[in-house]
């Protein structure tokens, strides 16, 4: 009975996902905006932006460095979650998937569940909200912009043909749990984050000069 229920759910998911993709391709058919959204949720892009924010932005509020540190931790736990679960689930990408994602680990990324973009977007949104509530940074407008961005990126994954609907739903749930875990157990203290940044920056500079 369980196998039958899972098979029925999977078939429903495939039909709905294909219908969304087919509708977008027939009615709009512009994949360039979807590709741009894909890059805004790419893990490599987020690692570079977070590291740049943490180390290169000077004289920011302490909460800013704490938020950047939390996002770095969240990105790392997100990567761990995806690398572990995708090979275990081994769900294939939609047959109409336009091709591999650039700068991705193909041995893992060839699988569909969960959507790494969905886990990442949900995690980022959760930690940004945590930053707003705890560190009073970023602004409320930026929090809402992050929520809108996350929803748009998740929707675009189905419209582009990268994922099924349930890949997105599962990914968003895992990403939200990841954000709760990081904010609860691994978050940086705003008062100590600037000192940590200065220490790490000094270590990096000394290491570079020795070479």
pLDDT in tens, 29-65: 888 999 999 999 999 999 999 999 999 998 899 999 9
Q: Determine the Cα–Cα distance for residues 185 and 73; give it in Å rounded to an integer.
A: 11
Residue 201 pLDDT grade (very low, low, confident, very high; cuts 50, 70, 90): confident
pLDDT at 68 over 60: yes
Helix and strand counts by DSSP (H, E) for the chain: 9, 0
Mean pLDDT computed over 101-120 = 83
Q: What is the mean pLDDT of residues 130-149?
A: 96
Position 167 pLDDT exceeds 90: yes
Residues 205 and 134: their CA atoms lie apart, in Å, by 31
Verify whether residue 117 is a known catalytic residue.
yes
How confident is the prediction for the chain on average, in pLDDT? 92
When pLDDT is cut at 50, 70 and 90, the band that residue 104 belongs to is low
What CATH number has the domain bearing residue 172?
1.20.144
How far apart, in whole angstroms, are the C-alpha atoms of residue 159 and residue 16?
Answer: 11
In this prediction, residue 97 has a pLDDT band, given cuts at 50, 70 and 90, of: confident
Predicted local distance difference test score (pLDDT) of residue 211: 60
What pLDDT score does 188 carry?
93
Structure tokens at 92: 């294939």
Residue 209 has pLDDT above 90, yes or no: no
Distance CA 193, CA 191 (A): 6
> Which of the residue ranges 23-27, 110-114, 151-155, 202-206 would you say has the lowest mean pLDDT?
202-206
Residues above pLDDT 70, as percent of the chain = 95
As for how many domains the chain has, the answer is 1
Q: Confidence band (pLDDT; 50, 70, 90) for 98?
A: confident
Whether 133 has a pLDDT exceeding 90, the answer reads yes
Its pTM stands at 0.92
Q: What are phi and psi of 100, to 5 degrees?
A: -70, 155
Angstrom distance (rounded) from CA 122 to CA 146: 10
Question: Can 130 be counted among the known catalytic residues?
Answer: no
Q: Tell me the C-alpha distance between 82 and 171, whole Å.
A: 9
Q: Cβ contacts of residue 131 below 8 Å, gap of 6+?
A: 63, 66, 67, 70, 137, 138
Which of 42, 117, 130, 164 is flagged as catalytic? Answer: 117
Task: Please give the residue range of the domain that contains residue 15.
Answer: 2-210
Helix 140-159, helix 116-134: angle, nearest 10: 170
Catalytic-labelled residue, pool 42, 130, 163, 164 = 163
174-190, pLDDT tens digit by residue? Answer: 999 999 999 999 999 99
Kindly tell me the burial class for residue 107, based on how many C-beta atoms sit within 10 Å of its own C-beta (0-12, 13-18, 19 or more): exposed
């Amino acid at each position: 009975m369980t196998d039958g229920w899972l098979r029925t759910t999977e078939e429903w998911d495939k039909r709905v996902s294909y219908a969304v993709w087919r509708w977008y391709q027939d009615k709009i058919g512009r994949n360039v905006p979807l590709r741009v959204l894909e890059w805004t949720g790419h893990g490599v892009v987020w690692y570079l932006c977070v590291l740049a924010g943490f180390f290169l932005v000077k004289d920011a509020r302490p909460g800013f460095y704490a938020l950047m540190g939390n996002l770095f931790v969240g990105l790392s736990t997100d990567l761990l979650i995806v690398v572990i679960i995708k090979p275990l689930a081994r769900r294939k990408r939609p047959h109409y998937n336009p091709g591999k994602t650039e700068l991705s680990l193909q041995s893992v990324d060839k699988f569909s569940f969960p959507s790494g973009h969905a886990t990442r977007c949900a995690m980022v949104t959760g930690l940004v909200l945590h930053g707003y509530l705890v560190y009073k940074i970023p602004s409320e407008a930026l929090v809402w912009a992050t929520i809108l961005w996350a929803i748009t990126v998740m929707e675009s994954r189905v419209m582009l043909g990268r994922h099924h609907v349930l890949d997105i739903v599962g990914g968003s749930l895992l990403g939200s749990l990841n954000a709760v875990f990081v904010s609860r157990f691994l978050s940086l203290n705003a008062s100590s984050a600037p000192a940590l940044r200065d220490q790490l920056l000094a270590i990096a500079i000394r290491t570079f000069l020795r070479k």
